[in-house]
Amino acid sequence: MNLKDTIRQMAAEISSDIINIRRHLHRHPELSFHEFETSVFVCQKLEELDIPCQLVAETGVLATIHGGLGPGRVIALRADMDALAIDDQKTTDYRSQNRGVMHACGHDAHTAILLGVARILKNLAPTFRGDVRLIFQPAEEIMPGGAVDMIREGALNNPEVGLVIGQHVAPHLPVGTVAVRKGHFMASMDELSIRIKGKGGHGAEPHKLIDPVLAASTIVVILQQLISRKNNPSVPSVLSFGRFVANGTINIVPDEVMLEGTFRSMDERWRESALSQIRQMATSIAIGLGCECDVTIRNGYPSLINPIATAEKISSDMKFFLGEEKVMDHPVWMASEDFAYYTRETDSLYYLLGVGMEDREAVPLHTSLFDINEKAIETGMGVMAYIVLSNLEA
C-alpha cells in the first residue's frame, strides 16, 4: 500500500475516536489564557500515544514526534485551543456545558484534528526521518495572542523548525475540500479607541455647547475618506467603527463621546502610515470643532503571508492526496490570525479546511449556532499528515 492510501486508511479508522474528542472539547470550552482543563486533556491524549509533552506559557502544550530513521528536517503543526464568549444555542448533545462560552470558531476541531494527526504520525514514525513538533496554542482570539508566548517559550527551536503549518475550518467551503491562498492571505488588525471631549448641555442651546457628538460623527466620516483616498486601491484595507457611545438623551448633548473600531490592512508600510494619519486626522478634526481628542491605538496581529513557493509545493501535495478538484484557490480574507507571528519566524503555510454542511446553509464563524460537518475531520487529519511526510522528505 502506498503512503497516500495508508494515511487515508488510518484517518478513516480513527475518525470516530477523533470526532468524540472534538465533541468532548466542544462540551468543555475555555476562554483565552484559561485553557487549563483543555491543555491537561491534550497532554493526557498525547501521553496515551507515548508522546511526551510539556505545558508552556501556562496553558500551551508542546510535544515532538521523532522519526525512527534519525534526525532531519523539523516541521511544526499548530492548533489553537481557546473558545469565545458566546452562549451556545445549538440543541446537539455536545453543546457547550459552560454557559456563555462556546467553540464558535472551530478551535475544538483544530485541536482534535492535530491529536489525530499525532496518532497517525506516531504510528508511522519508524518510516520517516526528522521531527514533527506539535504546537497546541492558547489564546488566538484575543490580543496579544498566544503565538508570541509559544514562540518565546521555544516552540520553533531546539531543534529549529524549518516549516510550520496551520489550518482553519471554513464553513463556506464544501466538506472534503481545502483552500490555499498564495502570497498575502489575511489582514493585520489594530484596535482603535477615540475619546472626544467637549462641553455638553441642553439640545436647544447648541451655541452654548462644544458638541462632541458632531465632532465624533465628522471623524467617522472623514476617516473613511482618508482610507479610501490615501490608500493604494490595489492594497485591501478596511476601517470599521462598531461602537459609538454618546450617553446623552434626546435633549441633552453629553460631555464626551467614545468611538471604538478596527483597522485592517494587507501592507505593513501602509498600516503604519494609516494609523499615524488616523491619529493626526481625528485629533485635528476634534480640535477644529473645539473639542479635545484622545486616540489610543492597540497594535494587533500582523498580516499573514503564505510564501508563494511553499504554497505551490503544498498545494501540489494536497491535490495528489485529495484530487485536483478538491483544492481551491482562496481570495484575500480580511480576518486576522496570530499564526502570522509564526510566518515571520520561518517558512510556513496557513490554509482553510472545508466544513460546510451538506443538508443546510452554513452558519458563519463566531455565531451562537456555529457547528462543523464532522466528515471534515477525516479530511483534515489525512491531508495534514500527508503534507508533513511529503515535506519531511523534501
**pLDDT one-digit tens code per residue, 163-206:** 999 999 999 999 999 999 999 999 999 999 999 999 999 999 99
Confirm if 105 and 84 have CB atoms less than 8 A apart.
Answer: yes
Confirm if 106 and 372 have CB atoms less than 8 A apart.
Answer: yes
120: amino acid identity, one letter: I
Q: Is residue 167 helix, strand or coil?
A: strand
Beta-carbon contacts of 13 under 8 Å, excluding residues fewer than 6 positions away, are none
Confirm if 167 and 173 have CB atoms less than 8 A apart.
Answer: no
| pLDDT for position 123 | 98
| pLDDT for position 360 | 87
Q: Which of 256, 277, 255 is nearest to 192 (CA)?
A: 277
User: Which of these CATH numbers, 3.40.50.300, 3.30.2270.10, 3.40.47.10, 3.40.630.10, describes 3-186+303-393?
Assistant: 3.40.630.10
Active-site residue (options: 82, 108, 267, 317): 82
**And the C-alpha cell for 79?**
492548533
Q: Is residue 9 helix, strand or coil?
A: helix
What gap in Å lies between CA 363 and CA 371, rounded to an integer?
A: 7
**pLDDT one-digit tens code per residue, 58-85:** 999 999 999 999 999 999 999 999 999 9
DSSP 8-class letter at 203? T
For the domain made up of 188-299, the CATH class stated in words is alpha beta
Catalytic residue status for 82: yes
| pLDDT for position 268 | 93
Beta-carbon contacts of 109 under 8 Å, excluding residues fewer than 6 positions away, are 22, 103, 169, 355, 372, 376, 377, 380
- The length of the chain is 394
Backbone angles phi and psi of 182, in degrees to 5: -90, 130
Confirm if 176 and 379 have CB atoms less than 8 A apart.
Answer: yes
Confirm if 29 and 138 have CB atoms less than 8 A apart.
Answer: no
Active-site residue (options: 140, 211, 317, 378): 140
Cross-sheet strand order for the sheet of 188-197 = 237-245, 256-265, 188-197, 292-299
What gap in Å lies between CA 257 and CA 246, rounded to an integer?
A: 5
**And the C-alpha cell for 317?**
501535495
Confirm if 59 and 38 have CB atoms less than 8 A apart.
Answer: yes
What are the sequence ranges of the domains in the chain? 3-186+303-393, 188-299
Catalytic residue status for 393: no
Which H helix or E strand runs over 279?
helix 268-288
Residue 190 to residues 80, 230, 287, 311, Cα–Cα distance (Å): 21, 18, 24, 27
What gap in Å lies between CA 93 and CA 102, rounded to an integer?
A: 14
pLDDT per residue rounded down to tens, the chain (394 residues): 899 999 999 999 999 999 999 999 999 999 999 999 999 999 999 999 999 999 999 999 999 999 999 999 999 999 999 999 999 999 999 999 999 999 999 999 999 999 999 999 999 999 999 999 999 999 999 999 999 999 999 999 999 999 999 999 999 999 999 999 999 999 999 999 999 999 999 999 999 999 999 999 999 999 999 999 999 999 999 999 999 999 999 999 999 999 999 999 999 999 999 999 999 999 999 999 999 999 999 999 999 999 999 999 999 999 999 999 999 999 999 999 999 999 999 999 999 999 999 988 889 999 999 999 999 999 999 999 999 999 997 5
